Structure 1
């Protein structure tokens, strides 16, 4: 019995030892494979990663890792959208109270969005804050369509501006940053754009520190979680798509030093933020404490100006130059009004750009008074046939809400545009009057503003204009 029992016990021990050894070998193999995979992942790194830090006072590049490698910008794109909005505000084409009407295309955009329905509107000030905090894709798309007639034309304008700012490796395809073929940028270019926003629009730039935006009963918190948590951080913008990874541009001003830092391709929002904090901690102390210098150079052609060791940000360029631009700033209110009209109707403007003459702005320039009649001179024009009546300058300018579709130097072309548009959309415009309102610019050029009149309210004019825009007819609703 002892022998049998002893034999059984030994066999059991051998079985246990065999099972233990097998398990150990399997686990060791798995750990080895996992270690190899982790090593390969670390060796390969993050193919979307890029980082860049510049001294905002001197333009010196403090740190760069894949800084000039092309990446998807995601919502960093909205920095350029905002740049152009600020530019149009500065030029007087729009202001903070200008209504932004949500387009159908905008309402169909993917989140993040504030969810306006097509035809609903918000002020341009509200639109700006919704981009800064909520990063609203629907609002960005609507802005592109309203400012340039279509988002495609707006994207072309964005790219032209990028070249003027020295962003030589950036191309935009839309206004909101959702992934699109050919829409790329670099960490270095985004740093240039951040610098340009700070230097060219210092008052508007302060909006990037907005923590919470309220729209009606809704509250939208800023996606930039470093605001209020990292000393000196005052903006600028976050971004994310699956293709881009987690992006962030940060501006830091503290202790007499100032930097702009960029992180692109983060694996998560938390890791991106942590890496940005590390960059700030390591490199802020390397920035200059000297006097603030404008890191600005004149644009040098379509490609802009780019340096290898310093970031050169091109000076802000007015997209639609006016013949009055070189005159003294000490002008009368009447001359200022003439300049606004000349800029709004300049033949040098892009074809799809809408003509935004804001009566409220004109009244403000004139000290509260209406523009004097000299701006709407009576010009010798031939009367239209009775079968196609169009108001001319010989008759009083119509009042009330109107839709302007063009301002052409050729009167017959302007009239033909009205006729063709009314014929094409007779159900919408068949009962509206047509008006040609000539205006003489300071340069002596005469433009004929083609308008549909007779809209009973702002709402009806805006809705009609929104429909025309969907049909690729640029227009703007204005009050006569």
Structure 2
């Protein structure tokens, strides 16, 4: 065995101390920094740094304000044409704002881009008062909603993200919120890519340069207060892989964006490698292309009464099986993609059992090839739009990740 000279050991020890000091110096230089990147489909954490450390969310707060607004619209309590009154409190909110005046009325269709593009604090207060009566009451609603999403380290005190020492969150919690916005309200997600909007003759441009400058980014939100530094939540899709990233505590908007771009590059590459390895490790004999199962659920149904799954094993893709997915009318709830077909079927079956008051659900497991890797995608199909959205929301509340999908035949 090669023996390290005493002088060499001393040098190695010195280098280790220098490296440790360097890292600790960086932490001291930017104690507000935190970041996380997750695979949107599998939930795999691809990068994390201080992901559970308490931070100020700043205007990333407005993502929860939008979540509750979208939820109210889904419940029929609001429409795009609902005109919300502007109080003196809302009109008094400091920049950034759209100069609302007390007594004005603001339509929901204008409020949404104002929150996303302009990050308007006055608009956040208008929405809060319209839904909660007062902004304080609405902040309690926001916190309660965060807890149901398992954002256990998040507390809201206002709807805008303006400075409040008690309003805190984490990079991990904000990634959860970003993902839930996408999954629970896919019909509204396109708003997060909006780059400009016009209100009362004035055009406002987005602060989110990631959407313009990074290929594959199609939303979400930026934020800044002095106590937080520059924050951003980002969703990006490339090579059929979607990731959600959150960076907090940037020293400048430019350095924050550059760091996010670097994290996205590395994380998408890592997600692709993980999926490839998982697909290669799947048993070669398991060649289930599609398994469909009609599950009739009642509250009193015992497990042994369920119809058994029909497993169709084949060494090649069958057009008939593919048509079960592509020609199906309506909407689906996508549960995830898995490297083993039985795992996909079991996961979908578990989702169907959780929805025990759905009269009829079809389980569909399809083999998909993504970047030369084979995965098995699990869905509940044969649903109407409202059923699919409601089902996914209920599954999410139970801790099961899902995505509402409009089938291509619809």
Q: Normalising to structure 1: TM-score of the pair?
A: 0.53
Corresponding residue of 1:53:
37
Native 8 Å contact 1:100 1:127 kept in 2: no
Native 8 Å contact 1:113 1:139 kept in 2: yes
Native 8 Å contact 1:58 1:293 kept in 2: no
* Alpha carbons of structure 1 residues 281 and 40: separation in structure 2 relative to 1, 3 Å: closer
Query: How far apart in 2 are the matches of 1:48 and 1:201?
Result: 31
Does residue 229 (structure 1) correspond to residue 178 (structure 2)? The answer is: no
Corresponding residue of 1:16:
none
* 1:345-391 Cα distance to aligned partner (Å, 9 max, x none): xxxxxxxxxxxxxxxxxxxxxxxxxxxxxxxxxxxxxxxxxxxxxxx
* 1:152-183 Cα distance to aligned partner (Å, 9 max, x none): 11000000100111101000000000011311
In the alignment, which of 42, 67, 85 is matched to residue 26 of structure 2?
42
Query: How far apart in 2 are the matches of 1:42 and 1:285?
Result: 26
Corresponding residue of 1:8:
none
* Alpha carbons of structure 1 residues 43 and 153: separation in structure 2 relative to 1, 3 Å: closer
In the alignment, which of 241, 255, 272 is matched to residue 256 of structure 2?
272
Corresponding residue of 1:175:
159
Does residue 146 (structure 1) correspond to residue 146 (structure 2)? The answer is: no
Query: How far apart in 1 are the matches of 2:264 and 2:186?
Result: 22
In the alignment, which of 254, 263, 269 is matched to residue 285 of structure 1?
269
Query: How far apart in 2 are the matches of 1:286 and 1:40?
Result: 27
Corresponding residue of 1:211:
195
Alpha-carbon deviation of 1:40?
Answer: 8.1
Query: How far apart in 2 are the matches of 1:155 and 1:249?
Result: 21
Does residue 199 (structure 1) correspond to residue 195 (structure 2)? The answer is: no
In the alignment, which of 157, 163, 168 is matched to residue 147 of structure 2?
163
Native 8 Å contact 1:99 1:124 kept in 2: yes
Does residue 104 (structure 1) correspond to residue 88 (structure 2)? The answer is: yes
> Helix, strand or coil for the counterpart of 1:63?
strand
Higher fraction of strand: 2
Query: How far apart in 1 are the matches of 2:359 and 2:87?
Result: 40
Native 8 Å contact 1:49 1:264 kept in 2: yes
Rg comparison, structure with higher value: 1
> Helix, strand or coil for the counterpart of 2:212?
coil
CA RMSD of aligned residues (A): 2.5
> Helix, strand or coil for the counterpart of 1:202?
coil
Alpha-carbon deviation of 1:228?
Answer: 2.3
Alpha-carbon deviation of 1:41?
Answer: 4.7
Does residue 116 (structure 1) correspond to residue 93 (structure 2)? The answer is: no
In the alignment, which of 263, 271, 274 is matched to residue 247 of structure 2?
263
Question: Structure 2: 5+ residue runs without aligned partners?
Answer: 1-20, 280-332, 337-350, 352-356, 361-410
Give runs of aligned pairs for residues 290-329 of structure 1, distance below 5 A.
Answer: 294=335
Query: How far apart in 1 are the matches of 2:202 and 2:50?
Result: 40
Give runs of aligned pairs for residues 445-464 of structure 1, distance below 5 A.
Answer: none
Corresponding residue of 1:3:
none
* Alpha carbons of structure 1 residues 124 and 69: separation in structure 2 relative to 1, 3 Å: same
* Alpha carbons of structure 1 residues 198 and 40: separation in structure 2 relative to 1, 3 Å: closer
Give runs of aligned pairs for residues 378-393 of structure 1, distance below 5 A.
Answer: none
Corresponding residue of 1:77:
61
The aligned length equals: 265
Does residue 239 (structure 1) correspond to residue 228 (structure 2)? The answer is: no
Query: How far apart in 1 are the matches of 2:28 and 2:86?
Result: 44
* Alpha carbons of structure 1 residues 165 and 183: separation in structure 2 relative to 1, 3 Å: same
Structure 1 residue ranges, 4+ long, deviating more than 4 angstroms after superposition? 37-41, 288-293, 326-329
> Helix, strand or coil for the counterpart of 2:213?
coil
Corresponding residue of 1:393:
none
Query: How far apart in 2 are the matches of 1:68 and 1:43?
Result: 15
Give runs of aligned pairs for residues 406-417 of structure 1, distance below 5 A.
Answer: none
> Helix, strand or coil for the counterpart of 2:188?
helix
* 1:131-158 Cα distance to aligned partner (Å, 9 max, x none): 0100000000111111111011100000
* Alpha carbons of structure 1 residues 39 and 168: separation in structure 2 relative to 1, 3 Å: closer
> Helix, strand or coil for the counterpart of 2:260?
helix
Query: How far apart in 2 are the matches of 1:79 and 1:43?
Result: 28
> Helix, strand or coil for the counterpart of 1:191?
helix
* Alpha carbons of structure 1 residues 294 and 212: separation in structure 2 relative to 1, 3 Å: farther
Query: How far apart in 2 are the matches of 1:88 and 1:225?
Result: 29
Alpha-carbon deviation of 1:122?
Answer: 1.9
Alpha-carbon deviation of 1:42?
Answer: 3.4
* 1:241-283 Cα distance to aligned partner (Å, 9 max, x none): 0011000000001211110000000111111011111111111
Alpha-carbon deviation of 1:39?
Answer: 9.6
Query: How far apart in 1 are the matches of 2:111 and 2:225?
Result: 21
